[in-house]
A and B are shown apart, each in its own frame.
Chain A
């Protein structure tokens, strides 16, 4: 099996599995309970929270444990209902559906939503961003790394522009970016992430929240987990989250760059195959289009040969063009036929070599029967 779909989800790391199992066995009390077992669980929760803050290097931010980045993104957008509808919400067409959808809901209610321009390398147009900010805004939300093409944003440069307007809040969905690019989370007011992209469990994520910035609950109730998000603290999941961060952050692997370049060069050699990921994209993602083929057919053929890839973000509708590829290339054909390979530290050179051999066969067979 060759698994090249880590941007969809990463298999649970063995260390994470152990950490979760240990947490489930050891901390059986509800962290809200007022007796020894509860106090132990509460202390463990505090310890995990501290560990995560240290790993992420954020002292001025609180951690809010959510069910994942989708919930975190929705919390940020719902918070913007506090502000006048005339103040625009600035974002990009590269955002995850869990950002676009709640913004659409607010737009339907009369809020102004504006897309900042993206250049052909997938970078935010900073001049356009400044122009939009001058029309009055409440939020800038820009994904740190696009899940489909691997385009990285310069969050520091963006933050420098946003911070000239102190009333504007800055959010970034860092789900794909964590562990795969340098990130300074002190630059943002909010950041969303999901553990399962890092080999942690599905069902837990974070909203990183700068103290003093507004935040509106989606879920009200007791305040043991956070006053902004009620729930019995899911210690097992949080332990998995903390462990996944520990295992992956600060351990960038040059091998990934080698694999990426090898496959980029390899795929470029096929007639009708075009690389969509820019040269300076994250090495963890490689997006290409095979314009003479139905991409579902390509995916199915590869899957039959135990090679697993995505056509676009797993959370996007299957038969809709890739918005990210469309934004980069302005080519609907490429957007409709795109295929995404995504890697992790678990990816090996051997897998990349095997992929080459399998893809050659795939190309030959599908082109013959076109």
Chain B
């Protein structure tokens, strides 16, 4: 499974979330994390049609199909729980 995380350098919510995302990444080794920057990975981000809020998290299954996407600030355990729930 893969989780794409889209953030931007200028985004305060992203600044807040990065340490939490890192913790989750370290604890969930079964998932591949791919980090995209809203500005510097413009082409890839545009293709994902992510709307108006950052950060964005998009989970894909092993077949490459999108399972779920969600957005914004949340506590570390909530982020972990959302990913676990989606995996189930």
Q: Main SS of the interface on chain B?
A: loop
Instruction: Judge if A97 is at the interface, Cβ distance under 8 Å.
Output: yes
B74 vs chain A, min Cβ distance (A): 13
Q: Mark B14-39, 1 if CB is under 8 A from A, else 0.
A: 11101100000000000000000010
Query: Are B52 and A320 within 8 A (Cβ)?
Result: yes
Cα–Cα distance between A93 and B8 once the two chains are bound (Å): 14
Residues of A within 8 A of B52 (CB): 319-321, 336
Cα–Cα distance between A319 and B14 once the two chains are bound (Å): 16
Chain A's closest residue to B71 (CB) is A332
B76 vs chain A, min Cβ distance (A): 15
Query: Are A103 and B8 within 8 A (Cβ)?
Result: no
Q: Main SS of the interface on chain A?
A: helix
Residues of B within 8 A of A93 (CB): 12-13, 16
Give A52-95 interface residues, CB cut-off 8 Å to B: 93-95
Number of contact residues on B: which range applies? 10 to 19
Residues of A within 8 A of B38 (CB): 317
Instruction: Judge if A115 is at the interface, Cβ distance under 8 Å.
Output: yes
Give A318-362 interface residues, CB cut-off 8 Å to B: 319-321, 323, 327, 332, 336
Residues of A within 8 A of B86 (CB): none
B79 vs chain A, min Cβ distance (A): 17
Query: Are A107 and B10 within 8 A (Cβ)?
Result: no
Cα–Cα distance between A105 and B8 once the two chains are bound (Å): 10
Instruction: Judge if A104 is at the interface, Cβ distance under 8 Å.
Output: yes
Query: Are A103 and B15 within 8 A (Cβ)?
Result: yes
Instruction: Judge if B9 is at the interface, Cβ distance under 8 Å.
Output: yes
Query: Are A332 and B53 within 8 A (Cβ)?
Result: yes
Residues of A within 8 A of B11 (CB): 100, 104, 320, 323
Residue in B10, B19, B72 whose CB lies within 8 Å of A100: B10
Instruction: Judge if A316 is at the interface, Cβ distance under 8 Å.
Output: yes
Query: Are A115 and B54 within 8 A (Cβ)?
Result: no
Cα–Cα distance between A56 and B12 once the two chains are bound (Å): 30
A103 vs chain B, min Cβ distance (A): 6
Instruction: Judge if A28 is at the interface, Cβ distance under 8 Å.
Output: no
Given A100-B15, A104-B15, A320 and B54 contact (CB-CB distance below 8 Å): yes
B40 vs chain A, min Cβ distance (A): 12
Query: Are A100 and B9 within 8 A (Cβ)?
Result: yes
Cα–Cα distance between A319 and B10 once the two chains are bound (Å): 14
Residues of B within 8 A of A101 (CB): 9-10
Cα–Cα distance between A115 and B12 once the two chains are bound (Å): 9
Instruction: Judge if A113 is at the interface, Cβ distance under 8 Å.
Output: yes
- Which of B9, B14, B16 has the largest count of A CB atoms less than 10 A from its CB? B9
3 pairs of A and B residues whose beta carbons are closest in the complex: A97-B10, A93-B12, A101-B9
- Give 24 pairs: A residue, B residue, CB < 8 Å, sorted on A: A93-B13, A94-B12, A97-B10, A100-B9, A100-B10, A100-B11, A100-B12, A100-B15, A101-B9, A104-B11, A104-B14, A104-B15, A107-B18, A107-B19, A108-B18, A113-B15, A115-B12, A317-B8, A317-B10, A320-B52, A320-B53, A321-B53, A323-B11, A332-B72
User: What would 5 more interface pairs be, CB under 8 Å, given A104-B9, A104-B14, A332-B53?
Assistant: A100-B11, A115-B15, A317-B38, A321-B52, A323-B12
